[in-house]
Amino acid sequence: MKAVILDSDSLGEGIDLSPIENQVSELVCYPLTSPEQVDERIQNADIVITNKVVLKGSSLERTEKLKLVCVLATGMNNIDLEAAKKLGIPVKNVEAYGTPSVVQHTLMMMLSLATKMPVMQKRMAAGDWQQSPLFTLLDPPTFQLEGKHLVIVGSGELGQAVKKQAEALGMRVTFTARPGKTDDSRPSFEALLPEADVISFHCPLNNETKSLLNRENLKHCQPHALVINNARGGVANEHDVLDALRNGQIGGYATDVLPQEPPKDGHPLLDALNEPLNLIVTPHNAWTSPEARQRIVELTANNISSGCSQT
């Protein structure tokens, strides 16, 4: 049973691959794989393991032995799932591998936005404190989270874990109904938006969640509202959010994701980091603790074991 990992560099250094090696007779690791190299590298594989390398239907159709695709992540939007289903090739992802790591990142963002850390750091670098007539800087004022209302989109394991930590800070937490679901009795995102002090996204990117936060509904946000996106780029329309931040329609925005990763063509949010805005952009690294990355390998090995036993 031959397995290939198409982008092993995405796991970083120091990660033990022996759990996967123990499930197969041969494991070939490619640090990175370009689109032009995909077909050749998966041609004779029984198992293909990928993190972000795209597997098109045409590539899957050309394989001769492929029995299983394993994704080293939760999101599977880089796989042509419809084609895989038609070909009878199971696709397995990993879930709940980095919950503590992502929750920690989410809290960092929430606390940093609430304390206006991005703006304060720029003021410190500009020498504003040294020149202040007072012993402190009072502008911009910080935002106390205790007693505030956190609205979470996505009530899975991540959302539930964020809820627990936010409640420890004294916040009131409400989950929205799943976008696009008419049989969900919880309040809709649109209904909760006007009363949200903090909004945090922990949902997949799909037709119902793309541009869920946009120019039209941003008008209904409170001007102090803080928005956090650790879900997927595009769940919040970044251009609309940036305009709202510049215009004072919201009080802060933090994201760990962008529609194109890495953003080789640039992005307006990255350009705006030099502006005096309450803005945080991190390089999709909320999940990257060594513990989380090792857990991905262990869960993938489990997927291989169970997936191959069913074929």
Residues identified as active-site: 232, 261, 284
Helices (H), 115-237: 117-125, 157-168, 189-192, 215-218
- Whether 45 and 4 have beta carbons less than 8 Å apart is answered as yes
Q: What distance in Å separates the CA atoms of residue 19 and residue 273, rounded to the nearest whole number?
A: 41
Residue carrying the six token digits 């031959």: 2
Q: Which residues contact 262 (CB under 8 A, 6 or more apart)?
A: 283
Degrees, nearest 5: CA angle 32-62-26: 55
| Longest pairwise C-alpha distance within the chain | 74
Q: What distance in Å separates the CA atoms of residue 152 and residue 146, rounded to the nearest whole number?
A: 16
Q: What distance in Å separates the CA atoms of residue 45 and residue 52, rounded to the nearest whole number?
A: 18
Report the interhelical angle of 117-125 vs 99-114 (nearest 10°).
60
* Six token digits for residue 177: 């109904």
